[in-house]
Amino acid sequence: MKHIPHFKYYALGLFALSACSKSKSNNPTPVTPGGGDTTVTIKAQTDPAIAATMGFFLDDWAPKTFTTPSYADTTKPSATASVTVNVDYSNVITKVSKYLFGNNTNPYIGQLVTETGLINNIKTLSPNVLRFPGGNISSVYFWNGVVPADAPANLYDTNGNSVAAAYWLGNNTAAWTLSLDNYYLALQQTNSTGIITVNYGYARYGTSAHPDQVAAHLAANWVRYDNGRTKYWEIGNESGGPWQAGYQIDVTQNQDGQPKIITGALYGTHFKVFADSMRNAAKQIGAQIEIGAQITNPVSYNSTDPTWNSGLFASAGNYPDFYIVHDYYTGSDNETAATILATPVTESKAIMTWVNSSEQKGGVASKPIALTEWNIFATGADQMVSNIAGMHATMVLGELLKNNFGMASRWDLANGWNGGDDQGMFSLGDEPDNTTKWNPRPSFYHMYYFQKYFGDRMVNSTVSGSSDVFSYASSFTSGQAGVVVVNRGLASQVVGINIQNFAPGTRYYYYVLVGGTDNGQFSRKVYINGVGPSSVSGGPSNYTQITAKAGLIQGGIKVALPPMSVIFLVADAK
């Protein structure tokens, strides 16, 4: 860390000035914001080494410039701050991967590209990466529109019953599904990158003499058809789960001696076959691709999990370019808001600790980590479509950054009402009391404001005064400081924000996101600076035009934080 020589400046409220002004110069000039003379040592920002778990997902990192919103000056709370957020602008935790804000498409969402309002909202949200075909369908998906002759008529379901196979085809242009070509078009329309999950299940249930080679060849042909449009590829989806096609096969139809139940070691062996074929295809077309392998998270859901990672590492070694994890954070029972909002911190850290430990035990190199599915499973009280789900999303994004994840894609853009147990970010118009199709759920607004008001680097922040308040701080290359403050408690808080090693400007701007009074803790609404939805669910349609609250930095930054709310704040820089 380079230290800037002492110089004299005038102290302002809670601030110590920083070399990290708009120019990120290591030679700042003294400023005079008002107050008494104070001599300090100013620290400049120094970027840490890129974590191996982020790796090439930061190759596309770009600086961010904050644009001052329309604002209205707001009276600061008169009460003394009960909570203090201390931010060290000089202490960079990581650069921010743009691929952490992703989402999942699926083949039952509709053709997307004809839905102007939805496409505009996705583009404004800027997820940057959209996964396809996503979920269990990946294991029965034939991208070229042809069910091969060696695909069996029956597959095993979750309970081990042999049932008629239901294959999905990439050339289906019916209105209710999403064709492969329209997925590619949707990526263009929303300025997004793709991550594609190829059909690994076919390597298990295929009845040819070498089903792994046949399935790998099909995947390689997809790479050729893709023609460089997609850089990130996954081999299979949750293949170690009984719910997945290929987890269990009919050994009487198998010709290459595969076991009835999959293992991590077998998957690792097959992974190498897929990777060789796909990399060769990419080389032929002059494309650069990265190929990910599935690993388990810390919780065992089935008999294959305890030995999955060790088996994979033993057979695949360092063949994968990155590792894939999925996590739905909560249980599937009727969990409370407090239980749900406790999981982002504990679960995100547990996943990364488990991954690092598994790699070390397996004797393989640390690789970038992609959380390609995440959400909550809590059911019974509209938890998934609530403002609490939005707060959970905010905290997950912050915790993924703190734990150096490289990519993440939330599940999913749209799903189905299912009595309120709907993980979709957008409604399909099937809510019994609101049939507006593509109505954004609260999670949409939380993720929109997080990305808009979070800079290009995460910096260190700590909270004192309450165990219910969490903070995630950032810096913009244009000089400003961003702070996300979450109150997961039931009491209002007055929060003072102290930003050290920062050259403050004139104002700070912020948005308060809070639920409504409907449905107890699990309001289906979100209000942004007091502006709410015109219907019974979702948020304000004019979310991009809502006026920010603002306050003068002189005298310190102080905000009122309602119960179960989030504040997205940016402070001006000199």
- Per-residue pLDDT tens digits for 375-393: 999 999 999 999 999 999 9
Question: What does the pLDDT read at residue 34?
Answer: 35
Which residues, other chains included, contact 446 with Cβ-Cβ below 8 Å and sequence gap of 6+? 390, 391, 393, 394, 513, 526, 566
Alpha-carbon distance of 498 to 559, in angstroms, equals 12
Question: What does the pLDDT read at residue 298?
Answer: 87
Question: What does the pLDDT read at residue 517?
Answer: 96
* Residue in the block written with tokens 């934080």: 561
Cα→Cα distances 101→157, 370, 415, 448, 541, Å: 32, 11, 18, 9, 21
Characterise 304 by phi-psi region: left (phi > 0), alpha (psi -120 to 50), beta (else).
alpha
Mean pLDDT for 119-123 is: 98
Between 172 and 299, residue with greater pLDDT: 172
Listed residue (22, 28, 60, 56) closest to 42, CA to CA: 28
31, pLDDT greater than 50:
no
Alpha-carbon distance of 410 to 443, in angstroms, equals 10
Question: What does the pLDDT read at residue 460?
Answer: 98
Please check whether residue 194 is in contact with residue 229, taking contact to mean a CB–CB distance below 8 angstroms. Answer: yes
H/E stretch holding 571 reads strand 565-573
Between 301 and 378, residue with greater pLDDT: 378
Cα→Cα distances 189→62, 117, 193, 229, Å: 21, 12, 11, 14
Please check whether residue 298 is in contact with residue 328, taking contact to mean a CB–CB distance below 8 angstroms. Answer: no
Quote the mean pLDDT of the chain.
93
Q: Is 196 helix (H, G, I), strand (E, B) or coil?
A: strand
pLDDT-derived band at 527 (thresholds 50, 70, 90) equals very high
pLDDT-derived band at 301 (thresholds 50, 70, 90) equals confident
Mean pLDDT for 232-243 is: 97
In the numeric block, which tokens belong to residue 456? 């290009």
pLDDT-derived band at 290 (thresholds 50, 70, 90) equals very high
Question: What does the pLDDT read at residue 32?
Answer: 36
Please check whether residue 498 is in contact with residue 539, taking contact to mean a CB–CB distance below 8 angstroms. Answer: no
Output the CA torsion 429→417→299→467 (10° steps): 80
Question: What does the pLDDT read at residue 30?
Answer: 38
464, pLDDT greater than 70:
yes
Alpha-carbon distance of 458 to 472, in angstroms, equals 7
Question: What does the pLDDT read at residue 392?
Answer: 98
pLDDT-derived band at 40 (thresholds 50, 70, 90) equals low
Mean pLDDT for 342-359 is: 97
Question: What does the pLDDT read at residue 311?
Answer: 98
**Structural domains in the chain plus CATH codes:** 3-44+61-97+455-573 (2.60.40.1180), 120-320 (3.20.20.80)
At residue 562, what are phi and psi to the nearest 5 degrees?
A: -65, 165
Amino acid, res. 160: G
482, pLDDT greater than 90:
yes
21, pLDDT greater than 50:
no
Listed residue (568, 264, 272) closest to 446, CA to CA: 568
Question: What does the pLDDT read at residue 39?
Answer: 52
Tens digit of each residue's pLDDT (9 = 90 or more) over 306-323 = 999 999 999 999 999 999
Tens digit of each residue's pLDDT (9 = 90 or more) over 67-82 = 999 999 999 999 999 9
Question: What does the pLDDT read at residue 29?
Answer: 34
Mean pLDDT for 145-166 is: 98
H/E stretch holding 176 reads none
**Residue 467, number of CB atoms within 10 A of its CB:** 8
DSSP state of 179: -
CA 104 to centroid of chain Cα atoms: 10
Please check whether residue 347 is in contact with residue 374, taking contact to mean a CB–CB distance below 8 angstroms. Answer: no
Listed residue (215, 227, 320, 322) closest to 282, CA to CA: 227
Alpha-carbon distance of 131 to 458, in angstroms, equals 25
* Residue in the block written with tokens 């032929």: 284
Question: What does the pLDDT read at residue 36?
Answer: 40
Which residues, other chains included, contact 98 with Cβ-Cβ below 8 Å and sequence gap of 6+? 60, 61, 62, 128
* Residue in the block written with tokens 């600790």: 353
Q: Is 389 helix (H, G, I), strand (E, B) or coil?
A: helix
Percent of all residues in the chain with a pLDDT value above 70, rounded to a whole number: 93
pLDDT-derived band at 171 (thresholds 50, 70, 90) equals very high
Question: What does the pLDDT read at residue 270?
Answer: 98
